Structure 1
Amino acid sequence: MKKFTALLLLTCLYGFSFHSALAQERTALVPLPSVDDFTKGQDGWALGLGLGIEYETAYEGSDEFGFEVDPAGALQWRRGNDIFFWAGEALGWRGLRANTWLFEALVGFDEGREESDSKKGYLDGLGDNDEGFELVLQARRAFDADWRYWLIGRVVTGGNGNLGLFGVGRRFGDKRDGSGSEINVVAVFHDSKFANTDFGINAQQAAASGLNETRLSGGFRSLGVNYNYRHIINNNWQIFGEALYERYSSKVQDSPIARSSYEAEVGIGFIYVF
C-alpha cells in the first residue's frame, strides 16, 4: 500500500493568491491527521510544501530496507465542504457530506517496480512492472460528527488490476484543526491480476530468474495497521509522522518474490503552509 511518490513543483507558487491569515479557530474539513487540509477553514487557494524521510521496504515483499526522501504537501482549492487538490503525481477531490461522510476520488501515477529496486539482485530476470495511472475511490463513515471512530473503504483500479481495502479507525486528540493522531486497522483484498503483478512469476520470468513459476488467485492479501500523527507548531509550520505494518496472507508469503512475511515503513517530515 505504498503511497504515490510526491513531485511538487515550486513554480506553482507564481500566479496564485493564498490565504495567510490565521482564523480564530482552525477548522479542518475533517479533524484527521491523515487528511491534508492547508486551507485553515477558508475558501480559496492554499499551499503546503515540505519534505519527508521514510525508512521502508524496497518493494512489495522485500526484506531489504532503506531511506527515501520525498517532497510532501499539496496545492489545494477549497469551496465549502469540497477540496480539490494536486499532490505530486495525484490529482483529486474530497468532500464532506452530512458531517459524517468523507468521500475522495483521485487519479494517481503508479511507478511500478524495477529490477534495480532490489540491491541484492532478488528481482533479476523478472523485468520491470508497467507504469500506469490508477483510479482511487475512498469513503469514510464516522459514527458521529466528532470523528472519534469511523469505517473506511477504498478501491484502487488500473491497468495492473484491482485492490480493495476495508477497516476501522480511531482518532486521538480533541482539536478540530487536523492535529493529533489516529490509527486504522484494515483488511486488504486483491484480484488475481493485481496479485500476480506484485507476486506472480510467469514462465518467461521463471526461465530468466531461476525462480519457480507462480500464479496467484484473488482474495485476501493482508492485514494492516497504519498510524498517523500531525502537530501544528504555528500558523505556518507542521510536523507529521506515519508508521505502517502490513502482514501478508499465507498465499502471498508462498510466492518466491515475498522474501518477508510483512511490509513496514516509518516516516517523519515537515510542511510549511503558505
Structure 2
Amino acid sequence: MINPDQPHLKILNTYFDKILILTIQRNANRREILKQVLGGLDYEIFYGVEGSMLKLKELIESGVVAANIQDIYKQTNIDYMNMGSSPVHINQIACSMSHIKMYQYILDNQLDKVLILEDDVMPVEENLKYLSETLNQVPDNWELLYLGHIINNNFSFWGKLKYYYFINFLYKVGIRTKSIIRKKNTYPGPFSTLLRKDGAHIGTHAYAVRGKGAVKLIKLQEPLKQAAPDLLLMDAVAKRVVVSYTSKFNFFQQNPKIHSSVWDGL
C-alpha cells in the first residue's frame, strides 16, 4: 500500500490539470483497491462504455466503426508486433470508445494536460523517486506521454544498442526488412537522461494526453478503425501523427492480481 502522504506520487496532482481513472460500473471492487494503492493522488472516476451494451454489426452499419476493422486489426498486429490476432472482441471496441470518450471530455472541458489511468493500475514504488525529475525533463511540445509501458522499453545499454543503434545502422545502409522497419518506427530514440522520444508501446494503463493530441487521436478514429486503444497510440506514434515521449522508468504497471475486463466472457 502506498503511503497516503507519498510525496513522489503527489507531484502528479500539480503537473496535470486532471487525473482520470477509466473504469466501468461493474468494476466496483477495483475502485476500492485504487483507494489503497493511489493514496495521495487526486483523481476523478471516469465511467467508460460497457461492451455488453454494444453490437458490432450495429456499430458498423451506423458508421461508428469501420467496416473493415477486422482486417485493420489483423494488419496492425502484424505491422507493430509481428503476430497474428484473433477476431476483434466487442470489449476491445468498448475500451477504444471509452478512451475516445475521454479525449472528447478533455476537449469539452478545455483541459490541456491530462493523465489517464486504467482501473487495474498500481504504482511501481521503487521508481517513484525519479518521477519529479522525469516530468521536469518533458518538453513543452509533448502530445502523448507514456508513464507506464510494455514492449519497446528495454533501455539498457544492450537494449539500445540492439533495438536502436543497430537497427538504424541497418536501415541507413539499405537493409530494410519489415522487422527492421517495424522496430525503427516503434522503438524510442534518445532524448534526455530520463526520457525517450517517439516510442510506441503496448498498454494504456498509464499515459497522458495534451488537448492538441486528443484532437488528433479523435480524428484518427472517425470512424473507429483501431480496435484497441494501445494499437491506436502505436499507429499514431509510428506514423509521427503525435509527438510522443516515454519515461525511462515505469511509474505504473498493471496489477497482476486483477484480470483484464477486456477479455471477460472469453
* TM-score interval for Structure 1 and Structure 2 normalised by the shorter chain: under 0.3
Q: What is the TM-score with the length of structure 1 in the denominator?
A: 0.24
Find the structure with the greater CA-based Rg: 1
Q: Which has the higher contact order (CA 8 A, sep 6+)?
A: 2
Q: What is the TM-score with the length of structure 2 in the denominator?
A: 0.24
**Quick check: which one's strand share is greater?**
1
**Quick check: which one's helix share is greater?**
2
